[in-house]
Amino acid sequence: MAEIEDMLRKQGEKFNQIEPPPEMEERLHLALENSSMRKRSGKMWSLRVAVLIMILFLFGSQIDSFAYYGKKLLGYDQIMTGTLRELNELGSGQTIGKSYTFKNGVSITLDGIMLDDNQMLVFYTMKDPRGTVDELYSNHSMSLRGLFKEYQMHSGQGNMNEEKTVMKNMFQFQAPLFFEKKLKLTFYLGEGAQKETGEIPFTLDWTKAMGHSIKKPLQAVMEIDGNKIRFDSIIASPTTTVIKGQIQSIWALAQDEMKGERIRPYYMDLKLLANGREVSRQGSGISTGMKGITFHQEFDALPKDLKELKLQLASFTADFDVHEEVELNINDREKSLEILGQKIVINEVFHKNGDTFIKITSEENVVLTQVDLIIDNEKVDLEETTTDQYEKKADGAILHTRILRFPGSGSKLKLDIQRIVYEKNYHKTMDIPLD
């Protein structure tokens, strides 16, 4: 009998610590209404056995719900996207629950991860009893290493409590290779001689990985002003959708370099349309390497009832080599010129305090990134740009007026425009087959 009482006491303590799902109350209420009243036995042991049976019933019927609550990552709602919150509610991902404490009392707990074919999301809690977790966050770094390589960290964000003692963090890493099993997350805290390293090793459970819903080559090309943008692949996974491609091949890049006609892409405004609705953008990147100029665009996860998928190139912003020379006179007013289809107006040219000033107006997305002034056959660098003014036109266009100041003055002036940045709208759309 003592053993039964001890078991009941321990199970009761555990049960009191559990927060049951909202639907449990209704289920118990219905169960009590449907059950018949039984005559109370005069023996205490039979009552205890009945209570034990009830506890076993509760644990048996709700074991999935309790396990479900144990798998959720708590405290991350404010830094999760809607998609990630839904996955978390479903108990997706792998809980870890391993910690490391530094000498200064700061602790880091790896709460869990979410892994699919596009990325691995790492969720960890940083605690600082001194209330300076915000300072620690800016002075800490981390790395993720597997058997043969270190996996690249893409981005991260955190949310801190008011006392500055706890910060919940979510960081995005490159997805580990399929054969990885043992991984090690290393944290670096502090700077200089005060820098300390902490390691949290953990084992990947590939049965918790979420894979992908779409993974296919695109082999599509969009041509814009003589340049071909190639779309190579799309991978849609439960956490994100990634599209990769190429803006310029290594050979075309080398040819343009030799001809002095380089294109330096700044930004591609790509829109992903699922069932006619825009999928929210999560990030993007453009890089130059041995594969030429490549890009990747990240969007939110696709809807489950996907029927149609389109990709739209809304606009393209780049820095172009132009090497355009424009002769100027000190009395020039409202002189208009066109470079790569972009209108630039020379409003005024004047001398002041021994310097030469040129007032120009263009659309706000047009920037002269490299411009010099040739004064009496001598080239001088731009000293500064001043007096920024913006004017919104009736058609919605915004004009930007500014004054360029060059040191020195002379009678023979020539504006040497070598590079120009501008954004051009295209709104070209292509279908992405779903079969």
Last residue of a domain, one of 176, 208, 240: 208
Last residue of a domain, one of 178, 208, 238: 208
Q: Give yes or no: residues 247 and 289 share one domain.
A: yes
How do strand 227-236 and strand 241-248 relate by DSSP bridges? Answer: antiparallel
Residue 39 lies in a domain: no
Q: Which element (helix H / strand E) includes 45? A: helix 44-61
Which two structure tokens, joined as six digits, stand for 204? Answer: 């990947």
Residue 284 burial class via C-beta count within 10 angstroms: exposed 0-12, middle 13-18, buried 19 and up = middle
Whole-angstrom distance, CA of residue 334 vs CA of residue 255 = 37
With a CB cutoff of 8 Å and minimum separation 6, the contacts of 1 are 45, 48
pLDDT tops 80 at residue 61: no
Task: Kindly state the average pLDDT of the residues 93-112.
Answer: 94
Q: Give yes or no: residues 159 and 253 share one domain.
A: no
Phi and psi at residue 434, to the nearest 5°: -100, -10
| Number of domains into which the chain is organized | 3
Cα torsion 105, 106, 111, 116 to 10°: value is -140
- Return the sign of the alpha-carbon dihedral for residues 374, 375, 378, 383: negative
pLDDT at 71: 65
pLDDT at 64: 36
**Mean pLDDT lowest for which of 179-193, 290-304, 351-365?**
179-193
pLDDT tops 80 at residue 216: yes
* DSSP structural state of residue 316: E
Residue 30 lies in a domain: no
Contact criterion met (CB below 8 Å) for 434 and 309:
yes
pLDDT at 137: 82
pLDDT tens digits for range 288-325: 989 999 999 999 999 999 999 999 999 999 999 999 99
pLDDT band for 125, please (50, 70, 90 cuts).
very high
Task: Kindly state the average pLDDT of the residues 189-202.
Answer: 86
Q: Give yes or no: residues 282 and 329 share one domain.
A: no
Edge-to-edge strand list for the sheet holding 292-299: 214-224, 227-236, 241-248, 292-299, 281-289
How do strand 333-339 and strand 342-352 relate by DSSP bridges? Answer: antiparallel
Q: Give yes or no: residues 344 and 299 share one domain.
A: no
Which two structure tokens, joined as six digits, stand for 197? Answer: 């390293």
Going by C-alpha positions, the residue among 64, 165, 180, 65 that lies closest to residue 113 is 180
pLDDT band for 24, please (50, 70, 90 cuts).
very low
Q: Give yes or no: residues 304 and 329 share one domain.
A: no
Place of tokens 């390293």: 197
Residue 31 lies in a domain: no
pLDDT at 262: 87
Q: Give yes or no: residues 176 and 228 share one domain.
A: no
In the chain, what percentage of residues exceed pLDDT 90?
62
Task: Kindly state the average pLDDT of the residues 404-416.
Answer: 94
Going by C-alpha positions, the residue among 88, 3, 99, 10 that lies closest to residue 55 is 10
Task: Kindly state the average pLDDT of the residues 153-177.
Answer: 93
Whole-angstrom distance, CA of residue 363 vs CA of residue 401 = 9
Q: Give yes or no: residues 247 and 361 share one domain.
A: no
Whole-angstrom distance, CA of residue 123 vs CA of residue 170 = 5
Task: Kindly state the average pLDDT of the residues 13-25.
Answer: 47
- Return the sign of the alpha-carbon dihedral for residues 82, 76, 297, 179: negative
Angle at 239 between CA 113 and CA 23, to 5 degrees: 75
pLDDT at 201: 97
Task: Kindly state the average pLDDT of the residues 212-232.
Answer: 90
How high is the mean pLDDT of the chain? Answer: 84
Q: pLDDT higher for 107 or 19?
A: 107
Place of tokens 């205890």: 48
Contact criterion met (CB below 8 Å) for 265 and 318:
yes
Residue 260 lies in a domain: yes
Whole-angstrom distance, CA of residue 100 vs CA of residue 127 = 11
pLDDT tops 90 at residue 236: yes
pLDDT band for 6, please (50, 70, 90 cuts).
low
Task: Kindly state the average pLDDT of the residues 399-403.
Answer: 96
Task: Kindly state the average pLDDT of the residues 12-30.
Answer: 46
Going by C-alpha positions, the residue among 100, 99, 95 that lies closest to residue 113 is 95
Whole-angstrom distance, CA of residue 371 vs CA of residue 337 = 15
With a CB cutoff of 8 Å and minimum separation 6, the contacts of 22 are none
Q: Give yes or no: residues 281 and 340 share one domain.
A: no
Last residue of a domain, one of 151, 175, 208: 208
Residue 4 lies in a domain: no
CATH code for the domain of 287: 2.60.40.1640
What is the extent of the structural domain holding 173?
A: 77-208
Q: Give yes or no: residues 376 and 392 share one domain.
A: yes
Q: What is the largest CA-CA distance in the chain?
A: 118
The amino acid sitting at 331 is N
Residue 399 lies in a domain: yes
Q: What is the pTM of this model?
A: 0.74
pLDDT tops 70 at residue 34: no
Contact criterion met (CB below 8 Å) for 421 and 319:
yes
Whole-angstrom distance, CA of residue 60 vs CA of residue 232 = 50
Q: Give yes or no: residues 159 and 264 share one domain.
A: no
Residue 36 lies in a domain: no
Residue 301, helix vs strand vs coil? coil
pLDDT at 42: 46
Which two structure tokens, joined as six digits, stand for 16? Answer: 């009191």
pLDDT at 191: 67
pLDDT at 30: 45
pLDDT tops 50 at residue 129: yes
pLDDT at 158: 92
Whole-angstrom distance, CA of residue 211 vs CA of residue 290 = 29
